[in-house]
Amino acid sequence: MIYTIIQTAKLNNLRIFDYLKYVFDQYTKRVAVKVEDLLPWNQEIQTKFHV
């Protein structure tokens, strides 16, 4: 699963370490986060982590 997330982030030209850190931080906060909000092709994610 992690491999797939990393490869998808690469395909979307994201800064991988920063993106993964953000995803795991959001997940561990236990706040109701929609999965769609964390996907690599989400516009907000693209804005924050695009290379």
Please report the DSSP string for 5-48 in residue order.
HHHHHHHTTB-HHHHHHHHHHHHHTT----GGGGSTTSHHHHHH
| pLDDT, position 44 | 94
Q: Give the position of tokens 């030209």.
A: 13
The answer to whether the pTM exceeds 0.85 is no
User: In whole angstroms, what is the distance from residue 18 CA to residue 9 CA?
Assistant: 11
- Tens digit of each residue's pLDDT, the chain (51 residues): 789 989 999 999 999 999 999 999 988 887 777 889 899 999 999 999 999
